[in-house]
């Protein structure tokens, strides 16, 4: 069998970029498929882990000054210093030239999307990027939407379109690749998974 299979290729810190779409306070207030606290935790952890790994981030909002409000402050605090959040009017983030050009400028083939809402803000640019030849992923637990029906419909359509769905921690651990890497401790700390923190504490106690 010839040809590449994007479903079998690994994410790496060299081939991936993360695109965070519309994690805004107004939209977050309507999320019902995941608790807002958990969603904030997950997207912040995704941003922090990507930064540790040197994976570029593109962050965008819709009508931040009017309709949906600013990016959640917890996420803003987690972003790399100097990163500009791109505010746009288009429903599909890919249709904004500045967003698309920022993604293209990363030079990365594999794009990890997360957004509020899942079926619009994350999924629509993922479809467009897929059509443009990128390999697209959606971190479903760093995304949220307004009902279980919307979540189920969004997941089904993404899978039909060839978007790879996963969770934020798995995507970042896959990109880490080697637990002996110097950044491994910082990546797991950024991911903030309770069991990983506990294991780290046990290991430190054992070494002492």
- Record the tokens describing residue 28, joined without a space: 């977050």
- What is the spatial distance between Cα 41 and Cα 33, in angstroms, rounded to a whole number? 15
123 neighbors 99 (Cβ within 8 angstroms): no
Catalytic residue among 46, 47, 57, 121: 121
Neighbours of 124 (CB within 10 A): 22
79 to 34, 45, 48, 116: CA distances (angstroms): 22, 10, 7, 17
Alpha helices, H only, 36-78: 36-53, 73-78
Q: Which residues does 8 contact at the CB level (< 8 Å), separation at least 6?
A: none
Is residue 121 annotated as part of the catalytic site, yes or no?
Answer: yes
- What is the spatial distance between Cα 69 and Cα 184, in angstroms, rounded to a whole number? 35
Please list the active-site residues: 121
């Amino acid at each position: 069998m010839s040809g590449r299979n994007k479903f079998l290729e690994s994410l790496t810190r060299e081939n991936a970029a993360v695109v965070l779409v519309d994690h805004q306070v107004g939209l977050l207030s309507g999320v019902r498929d995941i608790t807002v606290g958990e969603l904030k935790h997950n997207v912040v952890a995704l941003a922090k882990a990507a930064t540790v790994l040197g994976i570029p981030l593109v962050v965008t909002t819709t009508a931040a000054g009017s309709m949906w409000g600013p990016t959640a402050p917890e996420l803003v605090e987690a972003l790399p210093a100097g990163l500009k959040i791109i505010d746009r009017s288009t429903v599909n983030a890919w249709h904004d030239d500045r967003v698309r050009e920022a993604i293209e400028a990363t030079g990365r083939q594999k794009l990890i999307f997360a957004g509020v809402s899942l079926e619009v803000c994350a999924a629509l640019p993922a479809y467009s990027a897929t059509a443009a030849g990128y390999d697209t992923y959606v971190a479903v637990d760093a995304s949220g939407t307004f009902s279980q029906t919307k979540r189920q419909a969004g997941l089904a359509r993404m899978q039909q379109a060839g978007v790879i769905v996963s969770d934020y921690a798995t995507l970042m651990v896959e990109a880490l690749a080697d637990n002996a890497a110097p950044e491994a401790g910082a990546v797991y700390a950024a991911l903030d998974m309770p069991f990983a923190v506990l294991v780290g504490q046990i290991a430190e106690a054992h070494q002492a």
